[in-house]
Structure 1
Amino acid sequence: MNRLILSFVPCCLLLFFAVSLPTQQAASQVLFQDVRVFDGRSSSLSGPVNVLVEGNQIRQISGGSITVGESVQVIPGGGRTLMPGLIDVHVHMVFGALTMREMMSPMLSERLIFEKASQSAESMLLRGFTAVRDVGGPIFPLKAAIDSEKVVGPRVWPSGATISQTAGHGDFRTPDERSRKFFGEVSRAERYNATFIADGTAEVLTAVRENLRFGASQIKLMAGGGTSSAYDPVDVTQYTLDEMKAAVEAAADWGTYITVHAYTERAVQKAIAAGVKCVEHGQLLEKKTLRMMAKKGVWLSLQNLVEDTPDMDPARREKRKPVLEGQARIWPLAKQLKVNLAWGTDFLFEPELNEQQNEFILRLTEWFTPAEILKMITHDNAQLLQLSGLRSPYQGRLGVVEEGALADLILVDGNPLADISLVANPSDTFLVIMKDGKIYKQALDN
């Protein structure tokens, strides 16, 4: 698939690939010696064990000696914690790497987008995020570069361009940009593959299939109003049931699923009726809808959204008010009702927030134990990624430290089950970061 995606990458980006970061080499075997394992599920660490990585998989975990080859790289754990790599299931790799001023600038180019997003991707991996789900934006060139090891970054589950109705949450047109359908001119955001404005079942089907053609692992549909968009109040419901069913069927034909942006009862209930498998946000939901989600196994991908800032537009502050108020209520309620919960950040157009990605994990401590938090940001988030089925770009088990699982691992200086704040300081506490069996950070003296 990577060769196919690369064939669509603009020539200017291919030129950048040629001068970007060198590939990270991996020893044929890596032995983590004398570590205690958080396996992604348990509420306690294992006893002292040795963990052998061979190629890109965890080959053996043993409390005794392990037979290794001559080319093994030994990492002395010294009783530290070995855990799965972190997973963020709601990122926008491009939108999170640029400011709104840069996005709207006449100087914006594909090369600038790629350079900014590449730098951000490397920093994200070095914060311990070995896998992410990108839920909207022009992600395919960056993902292709990461997978071909021309750029350093996490594994990416790409959605591609968001799919929105006219006047929906993904209608990013400026006031002077008119409807493509009536005036025949594609909007700037659509030209940059940020969104599809699609109305009617035929256009929705085409938009879904276009993203699948480029390698989307899941599809993001805008089913309700948003706080950062100009035209749609938060309370509005977007897309008819038939339009949404068409998207669900097209995705299911490719063995994958639809996730929707939605906050309200009406929007989410309509999405559930259409067969949607995941809801992004949902801060305004009540018990009735959460029970429906729990019964049908629909995932709730939640975030703790950033607080209002002093320079934020007053209209946006007003739109955000009920959503921010709902955050403190929705997390414990969804937990109580046993909804499938996943965690993400959803940083947009404020690149300085990316450095706080790990710190945002600690916002969960009000409602969850350290063990529950670690399970959510590793094992549980990995379960959501696997809804992509055969469209998943990386086949194998993630989010766990088990024999046969993919080797996405972090060696932590301390026990995060006892002190969850360790995950919020990756530069000091994450001594080794491994993705796909390759070491990208090594801060231990062998």
Structure 2
Amino acid sequence: MGMTCCAPHAAASGINPCHCGAPHTQAAFQRIDADLTRRQFLGGAAAVLGMFAGFGLAPREVRAQAPGQPLLLTHLRLFDGETLSLRDDVDILIEGGRIAALPRRGQRPADTQVIDCGGRAVIPGLIDAHWHATLAGVSQMVAMTADVGFLHLMAGREAGATLMRGFTTVRDVGGPAFGLKMAIDRGVVSGPRIFPSGAMISQTSGHGDFRHLHELPRMPGTPPSHIEASGVAAIADGVDEVLRRTREQLMKGASQIKIMAGGGVSSLYDPLDTAQFLEEEMRAAVRAAEDWGTYVCAHVYTPTGIQRAIRAGVKSIEHGQLADEDTVRMMADEGVWWSIQPFLDDEDANPKSDPVSRAKQLQVSEGTVRAFELGRKHGVPMVFGTDILFSAAGGASQGRQLAKLARFMSPLEALHMATGAAGRLLALSGERAPYDGRLGVITEGALADLLVVDGDPETDLSWLDEPADKLRLIMKGGSIFKNTLS
């Protein structure tokens, strides 16, 4: 098959995620080669599954309710994703992958399967509103240089881990996640629902321009850079180019568009204080998205960039930790969403070896506490995201980062940011939303994504940091991906 081991990339990044030389992987490759030769197209489909199995990505055993038979969860305390209190007077009836009803406790319908939750809390499946499925589990060196097939395999492995942490939905705000989404939706691999943005649209020298200086200047006949060719970012200058790149992502199936409206931490050549894209360029992206019934979200930190994005019609500000009070008030007045992350200078911060990036990271972390305070003060609709980037171990902190929000608000308010509030943000995709049904809530008609937890969400969220032990049942679309209840 001519497979090339990716060990050089792993060594360069300081991690070794590669299993190319492992006996079970080599055996999988041999099975793929034999199957492709023997069975052509049909064999190729089986080979793909074999390849995923070699990387530990085969779908987990999933148990759904018996065909035509409803499932009843009983003896539970319910957080519905919207009401900031728990109730213990209802059961949850699931049928056809949706919440069919919340009957009064003890009023069990006939002919139902029953799961006794043992008095535990039941909450909606969690939503990470700022996730990068193809960039979370690898180093920046690997992301910038590795074969894109390897990136997709690593993304598949991370997707399964994401679901097992209780995150049943993610809004992917940058990267080639379309194939991974298709594989998850078709049951090839396990993972969360994905609302994909596709390539991050960036101006030249912007936060999505990861080219090195020796690659400049770009001439009319210059081919796309590796990061563009792989679908991570798209560089666009001027209204016409922004329109083209926006429409390309919509053609691929983007549920929302992501633009870079200001400087970033991980990029080397754009200072944090810079404003990026002219207002007319951003407005071009917004108009193209609106023509498709969806919206634009913008990476940006500073007041100038945030205000420019809002005037252009952007509906969701990603990050924004350096916003001043006038800017936050403007966000509230315009009903703009704030997708904010607990960017604190702690053990969960994205690793930064470059001193310039590290200095920018510290600047952002200093503004994080004040940003949460201002957002709550002015009533800006806020949702939770992690923005884990370029860290093989970073994904494990996903739940712990949500738990940190209890520092700024009550535990149930924090959970609301990752459930009911996030579900309303996802609904802005309108007809471009890839899933038909409400998310982030446990109410009649909503998609049956829910968790049964060992812990008291009203008083403490530390259980989020122990998903292997504390998440006793994980359900997505009525299918049970984990159940350790007796």
Q: TM-score range with shorter-chain normalisation?
A: over 0.9
Q: Secondary structure at the match of 2:435?
A: coil
Distance 2:157 2:270 in 1: 33
**Equivalent of residue 88 in structure 1, options 105, 128, 146:** 128
Give yes or no for contact 1:84–1:399 (8 Å, CA) kept in 2.
Answer: yes
**Equivalent of residue 64 in structure 1, options 78, 103, 106:** 106
Unaligned 5+ residue runs, structure 1?
Answer: 1-10
Q: Which amino acid aligns with 1:422?
A: W
Alignment of structure 1 residues 144-159 onto 2, 5 Å: 144-159=182-197
Distance 2:217 2:48 in 1: 34
Aligned CA-pair RMSD: 1.9
Unaligned 5+ residue runs, structure 2?
Answer: 1-42, 53-57
Q: 1:272-328: CA deviations, max 9, x gaps?
A: 111110110111101111111101100111011253688622111222232111011
Q: Secondary structure at the match of 1:357?
A: helix
Distance 2:125 2:110 in 1: 24
Give yes or no for contact 2:344–2:368 (8 Å, CA) kept in 1.
Answer: no
Match of 2:88 in 1: 47
Q: 1:112-133: CA deviations, max 9, x gaps?
A: 1121101100000011000010
Match of 1:356 in 2: 397
Give yes or no for contact 1:24–1:149 (8 Å, CA) kept in 2.
Answer: no
Match of 2:297 in 1: 259
Q: Which amino acid aligns with 1:396?
A: G
Distance 2:259 2:351 in 1: 31
Q: Which amino acid aligns with 2:88?
A: G
Q: 1:89-122: CA deviations, max 9, x gaps?
A: 00001110211232244xx223211211011000
Q: 1:55-103: CA deviations, max 9, x gaps?
A: 110112122322243xx43211121111101110000011102112322
Match of 2:374 in 1: 333
Identity of aligned residues (%): 45
Q: 1:41-68: CA deviations, max 9, x gaps?
A: 2222112432111111011212232224
Match of 2:156 in 1: 118
Q: Which amino acid aligns with 2:109?
A: T
Match of 1:405 in 2: 446
Between Structure 1 and Structure 2, how many residues are aligned?
A: 431
Q: Secondary structure at the match of 1:78?
A: strand
Q: Secondary structure at the match of 1:176?
A: helix
Q: Which amino acid aligns with 2:115?
A: I
Q: Which amino acid aligns with 2:140?
A: M
Distance 2:274 2:327 in 1: 17
Match of 1:5 in 2: none
Give yes or no for contact 2:144–2:226 (8 Å, CA) kept in 1.
Answer: no
1:197 matched to 2:235? The reply is yes
Q: 1:341-362: CA deviations, max 9, x gaps?
A: 1110001101201001101112
Q: Which has the higher contact order (CA 8 A, sep 6+)?
A: 1
Distance 2:325 2:45 in 1: 48
Shift of 1:18: 6.1
Distance 2:425 2:339 in 1: 9
> What TM-score, normalized by structure 1, do the two folds share?
0.93
Distance 1:179 1:205 in 2: 22
Give yes or no for contact 1:180–1:186 (8 Å, CA) kept in 2.
Answer: no
Match of 1:76 in 2: 116
Structure 1 pair 68–294 and aligned structure 2 pair: CA distance change class (3 A)? same
Q: 1:367-411: CA deviations, max 9, x gaps?
A: 100121111111011111111111000121111111111100001
Q: Which amino acid aligns with 2:367?
A: G
Further displaced range: 182-191 or 373-382? 182-191
Q: Which amino acid aligns with 1:16?
A: V
Give yes or no for contact 1:12–1:111 (8 Å, CA) kept in 2.
Answer: no
Distance 2:255 2:195 in 1: 6
Match of 1:7 in 2: none
1:434 matched to 2:466? The reply is no
Q: Which amino acid aligns with 1:295?
A: D
Match of 2:216 in 1: 178
Give yes or no for contact 2:455–2:461 (8 Å, CA) kept in 1.
Answer: no
Distance 1:412 1:215 in 2: 34
> What TM-score, normalized by structure 2, do the two folds share?
0.85
Q: Secondary structure at the match of 1:325?
A: helix
1:99 matched to 2:139? The reply is yes
Q: Which amino acid aligns with 2:226?
A: R
Structure 1 pair 13–245 and aligned structure 2 pair: CA distance change class (3 A)? farther
Q: Which amino acid aligns with 2:274?
A: V
Give yes or no for contact 1:178–1:185 (8 Å, CA) kept in 2.
Answer: no
Q: Which amino acid aligns with 1:91?
A: W
Further displaced range: 16-25 or 347-356? 16-25
Structure 1 pair 325–249 and aligned structure 2 pair: CA distance change class (3 A)? same
Give yes or no for contact 2:350–2:389 (8 Å, CA) kept in 1.
Answer: no
Give yes or no for contact 1:179–1:185 (8 Å, CA) kept in 2.
Answer: no
Structure 1 pair 337–13 and aligned structure 2 pair: CA distance change class (3 A)? farther
Distance 2:397 2:336 in 1: 29
Distance 1:309 1:136 in 2: 16
Q: Secondary structure at the match of 1:80?
A: strand
Structure 1 pair 310–139 and aligned structure 2 pair: CA distance change class (3 A)? closer
Distance 2:205 2:44 in 1: 33
Q: Secondary structure at the match of 1:317?
A: helix
Match of 1:209 in 2: 247
